[in-house]
Amino acid sequence: DAGVTQSPTHLIKTRGQQVTLRCSPKSGHDTVSWYQQALGQGPQFIFQYYEEEERQRGNFPDRFSGHQFPNYSSELNVNALLLGDSALYLCASSTLGDSNQPQHFGDGTRLSIL
């Protein structure tokens, strides 16, 4: 049973570019959440998708956007990249409303902005 998979594992971009990160949830999960983890910090919630719609959003600018597909996979898009966007981006999947199933995390995409 595959867990949460993220691609790519590493990415290098320059300021001003845009980037798309991808996530496939654990089998049976219908909800995908994205987190940003800066170096030496705890993960910060970006947003959550359920039924192809953004359900919750953290304190991130509109440059951060996402999408969820009918197969529950998800993308995170970041436009106009800034140096401060350098971080590990984590995807987590869960089943909405099932408190006994905590969020499962992928290994993340490490994004470096030059």
Partner 1 sequence: AQSVTQLDSQVPVFEEAPVELRCNYSSSVSVYLFWYVQYPNQGLQLLLKYLSGSTLVKGINGFEAEFNKSQTSFHLRKPSVHISDTAEYFCAVERGGGNKLTFGTGTQLKVEL
Q: Site residues for partner 1, window 37-96 (CB under 8 A)? A: 40-45, 48, 50, 56, 58, 90, 92, 94-96
Residue of the chain from 102, 111, 112, 114 that contacts partner 1 (CB under 8 A): 102
How far from the centroid of its chain's Cα atoms is residue 26's Cα?
14
What DSSP letter does each residue of 44-97 carry, written as one string?
EEEEEEETTEEEEE-S--TTEEEEE-TTS-EEEEE-S--GGG-EEEEEEEE-TT
CB of 112 to partner 1, least distance (A): 14
What are the residues binding partner 1 (CB under 8 A)? 4, 31, 33, 35, 40-45, 48, 50, 56, 58, 90, 92, 94-100, 102-108
